[in-house]
Amino acid sequence: MHIFLLSSVYPSHYSPKGTTPVVHYFTKEWVSEGHKVHVFHTESSFPKASYFLGRPFKKMLDSRLGHLVPDHAPKEYDETKDGVKITHISLKKVKPHGRFPKKQIHRAFNIISSCVEKEGVPDCFVGHWDNPQLELLHALKAKFHRPTCLVYHSNRFSQLYNCYGNDTDALVKGIDLVGFRNATAQADYNEHFRKPERAFIAASGVSRPFIEAGMNDEKTIDEVNRFVYVGALINRKFPTTVIAALSQAYQKSPFEITYIGEGDEKKQVQQRFDELDCKGKLTFTGRIPREDVIKYLKQSEVFVMISKGEIFGLVYLEAMALGCITIAARHEGIDGIIEDGENGFLCEAGNAEELASIIARIRKMSPDELKIISYKAKETAQAYSDVNVAKNYIDELSKIVS
């Protein structure tokens, strides 16, 4: 299959450090399976003054806003990575999350159209993130008469009207295949718009190193006292709430927790640990290579992160691949994958009392009961391997191409 894929978020030399490579996981797997893929990275570019003024407050903004804030303008260039051809396009606008000027949409459209002339018309056009993909997919479909697919990375569908105004309904209706990152987002979409004729869950896949490490490691859980958190230390992920819950569940008994990641909440986590006079060990590793993350997951019994606004959360599946007893947030990105009490546990986002109760429950479980949950977690992660999810995605695309 020949695919042109448009995405607002994609790893580049100029993206903020820590930018998610989730879309690249799909595209490189497709290429390895023999498909031809050209990615168009439609990156926002703001006035220079905004980067200069925001740079001193970047950590605070990342934490408050819940996403990475760029501290310099992107640049346009072409590259090939893991066999995937990538064209990085810089699109100017003034207001974050606002609609791009028509001139910028037209320029991106011309860049993509010129590639069609050189490479041939693709079998389909695929978009990730709605702005500006929704407009671009509409224009490309009109010119080249090929089906389109758009994967939403949010469940805030009312904001589409804030961006596209009266054009929203027509733009949304024109998409042939609609993808969602989780079941909750799909249900929210159906409340705002008519249920799409073709829809699917575009889940992320667990990479081979995590799957293989889990298959080669038989985790035995005799005692639960080692916890791990992997993610940005920011408000919406509630890293300090985890300390409060652990303190309540363990009282004066010792426990260990390792935070892997960086963020503005690090000082608050340490302060909370000290204020509650927690016994045991608190470790911060900062951002570390993926192979080192595997090492910490192997050493831990429980993975915990009860984020709000988590549209998927691949890290949960990575922890499950290593057999960790995984605690995630209910009605967030892992809904439909973790079944509470079966292959992991679900907690209200940010609820310290409920989290403490879950941890206490896990501590009372026998080694045999914990082994069953750990085994089922591994099974689930293996079903969501990067190979499997990329193949499922292609199968969905083939239905609109045929």
Q: Domain check: are 32 and 153 in the same one?
A: yes
- What's the CA gap between 202 and 29, in Å, rounded? 14
């893991």: which residue's tokens?
82
pLDDT band (50, 70, 90) for residue 65 = very low
Q: Domain check: are 146 and 283 in the same one?
A: no
Q: Domain check: are 163 and 247 in the same one?
A: no
Q: What is the pLDDT of residues 248-267, one digit of tens each?
A: 999 989 999 999 999 999 99
pLDDT band (50, 70, 90) for residue 53 = low
Residues 123-133 as b or e (16 or more Cβ within 10 Å = b): bbbbbbbbbbb
Q: What is the mean pLDDT of residues 36-46?
A: 95
Q: Domain check: are 201 and 215 in the same one?
A: no
Q: Domain check: are 390 and 360 in the same one?
A: no
Q: Domain check: are 37 and 184 in the same one?
A: yes
- Which residues, 6+ apart, have CB-to-CB distance to 261 below 8 Å? 229, 230, 231, 232, 233, 286, 287
The pLDDT of residue 231 is 93
Q: Which of 89-98, 247-256, 360-369, 376-385 has the lowest mean pLDDT?
A: 89-98
Q: Domain check: are 12 and 104 in the same one?
A: yes
Q: Domain check: are 17 and 40 in the same one?
A: yes
Q: Domain check: are 61 and 95 in the same one?
A: yes
Mean pLDDT taken over the chain: 92
More reliable by pLDDT, 321 or 55 = 321
Closest CA to 389 of 327, 319, 323, 312: 312
Q: Domain check: are 309 and 395 in the same one?
A: no
Q: What is the pLDDT of residues 292-337, one digit of tens each?
A: 999 999 999 999 999 998 888 889 999 999 999 999 999 888 878 9
Domain range for 67 is: 2-205+386-401
- Which residues, 6+ apart, have CB-to-CB distance to 221 below 8 Å? 301, 325, 367, 370, 371, 374
- What's the CA gap between 111 and 40, in Å, rounded? 9
More reliable by pLDDT, 225 or 16 = 225
Q: What is the pLDDT of residues 140-161, one digit of tens each?
A: 999 999 999 999 998 889 889 9
Closest CA to 262 of 293, 284, 235, 244: 284
Burial group, residue 156, by CB count within 10 angstroms (0-12, 13-18, 19+): middle
Domain count, the chain: 2
pLDDT band (50, 70, 90) for residue 51 = low
Whole-Å CA distances, 120 to 91, 116, 235: 24, 5, 46
Q: Domain check: are 316 and 354 in the same one?
A: yes
Q: Which CATH number do you get for residue 247?
A: 3.40.50.2000
Q: Domain check: are 254 and 118 in the same one?
A: no
Write out the H or E segment, with its range, that includes residue 354: helix 352-364
Q: What is the mean pLDDT of residues 201-221?
A: 92
- What's the CA gap between 121 and 359, in Å, rounded? 54
- pLDDT reading at 49 higher than 70: no
Residues in the chain: 402
